[in-house]
């Protein structure tokens, strides 16, 4: 039997956990590592994912260099083919698991800088342009949008996809959305947190839950404000004015 323990911390200062001394139990002294690899993800103590993005950015550049072998001896592949290869086969490698680090209020300066440099090198390779070319110009010519907008596009689509999952799905049980069933809610569900606690939580799951409420607002059909005599038009009747149309006296605006 093998047990793994890893320490995480979001403190601003340095985080160096003390080693775990098991000599009293006849075991060794365990010292935590700076990074932990699990299911192709690379976690560090601060959960900044700097090593993770660096690893996949270098992997993309290595893949792009190997794509030069796809051309034959008479001519290489065209810029359009290079662009399609990058978008279909390479970009998905770069953005693998981006939900772990791309969410609201997350520190993205270093990550977007590394990914931006990676895409700039790819755009130069596609066009065969000079290294001094402007990034915005070569990305526009090659038909590539900025990495930041790529992430926003993919992130919004995945957040909408979460609302189509079954009510007993693990993501739905953790979300506080109109589609999550109260019978399948997890003990750590967002529905059991207060508004103040939700404001302190920063994760992709919170963004998905908030987006579900913005797009699909939840309201009660039996609320007092919807009953006759208490509606907005009845309470604030002096704020509404009706102008009858000349063509149809029964039509109101």
Question: Taking CA 37 as the corner, what is the angle to CA 115 and CA 29, rounded to the nearest 5 degrees?
Answer: 135
Please check whether residues 172 and 150 belong to one and the same domain: no
In a domain, 6, yes or no: no
Please check whether residues 172 and 151 belong to one and the same domain: no
In a domain, 230, yes or no: no
Contact 111, 50 (CB under 8 A): yes
Give the mean pLDDT of 189-202. Answer: 77
User: Domain residues for 200?
Assistant: 168-215
In a domain, 109, yes or no: yes
Binned at pLDDT 50, 70 and 90, residue 210 comes out as confident
Please check whether residues 98 and 149 belong to one and the same domain: yes
- In this predicted structure, the answer to whether residue 62 has a pLDDT above a threshold of 70 is yes
In 67-146, which residue ranges form alpha helices assigned H by DSSP? Answer: 79-85, 91-94, 109-127, 135-142
Measured CA to CA in angstroms, residue 107 lies from 32, 100, 116, 189, 209 at distances of 24, 12, 15, 25, 20
The 10s digit of each residue's pLDDT in 155-165 is 888 877 777 77
In a domain, 146, yes or no: yes
Please check whether residues 89 and 132 belong to one and the same domain: yes
Tally of domains within the chain: 2
Token pair 């995480």 in the structure block, residue: 8
Distance, CA of 182 to CA of 205 (rounded, Å): 17
In a domain, 201, yes or no: yes
Contact 238, 232 (CB under 8 A): no
Q: In the numeric block, which tokens belong to residue 27?
A: 């075991």
The 10s digit of each residue's pLDDT in 13-29 is 776 777 777 777 777 77
Please check whether residues 102 and 174 belong to one and the same domain: no
In a domain, 77, yes or no: yes
Please check whether residues 68 and 117 belong to one and the same domain: yes
Predicted local confidence at residue 203, as pLDDT: 81
In a domain, 8, yes or no: no
Orientation of helix 109-127 relative to helix 50-66, angle to 10° = 10
Predicted local confidence at residue 2, as pLDDT: 62
Please check whether residues 71 and 101 belong to one and the same domain: yes
Distance, CA of 125 to CA of 143 (rounded, Å): 14
Please check whether residues 54 and 141 belong to one and the same domain: yes
Please check whether residues 53 and 85 belong to one and the same domain: yes
Predicted local confidence at residue 252, as pLDDT: 41
Percentage, residues of the chain above pLDDT 90: 3
Contact 138, 123 (CB under 8 A): yes
- In this predicted structure, the answer to whether residue 253 has a pLDDT above a threshold of 50 is no
Predicted local confidence at residue 6, as pLDDT: 73
Please check whether residues 57 and 126 belong to one and the same domain: yes
Nearest of 110, 90, 119, 138 to residue 49 by alpha carbon: 110
Beta bridge partner(s), residue 20: 30
Q: In the numeric block, which tokens belong to residue 168?
A: 């007993």
pTM to 2 decimal places: 0.68
Please check whether residues 82 and 113 belong to one and the same domain: yes
Of 244 and 216, which is predicted with more confidence? 244
Contact 115, 150 (CB under 8 A): no
């Amino acid at each position: 039997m093998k047990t793994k323990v890893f320490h995480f911390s979001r403190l601003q200062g340095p985080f160096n956990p003390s080693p775990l001394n098991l000599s009293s139990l006849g075991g060794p002294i365990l010292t935590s590592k700076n990074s932990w690899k699990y299911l192709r993800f690379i976690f560090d103590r601060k959960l900044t994912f700097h090593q993770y993005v660096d690893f996949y950015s270098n992997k993309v550049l290595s893949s792009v260099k190997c794509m030069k072998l796809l051309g034959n001896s008479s001519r290489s592949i065209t810029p359009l083919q290079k662009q399609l290869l990058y978008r279909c086969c390479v970009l998905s490698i770069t953005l693998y698991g981006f939900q772990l680090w791309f969410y609201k209020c997350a520190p993205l300066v270093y990550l977007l800088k590394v990914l931006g440099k990676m895409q700039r090198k790819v755009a130069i390779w596609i066009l065969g342009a000079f290294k001094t070319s402007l990034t915005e110009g070569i990305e526009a010519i090659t038909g590539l949008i900025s990495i930041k907008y790529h992430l926003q596009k993919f992130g919004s689509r995945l957040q909408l996809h979460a609302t189509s999952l079954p009510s007993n799905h693990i993501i739905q049980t953790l979300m506080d959305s109109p589609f999550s069933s109260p019978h399948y809610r997890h003990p750590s569900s967002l529905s059991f947190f207060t508004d103040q606690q939700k404001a302190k939580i920063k994760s992709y799951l919170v963004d998905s839950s908030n987006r579900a409420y913005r797009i699909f607002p939840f309201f009660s059909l039996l609320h007092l404000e919807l009953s006759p005599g208490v509606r907005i038009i009845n309470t604030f009747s002096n704020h509404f004015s009706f102008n009858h149309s000349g063509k149809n006296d029964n039509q109101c605006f």
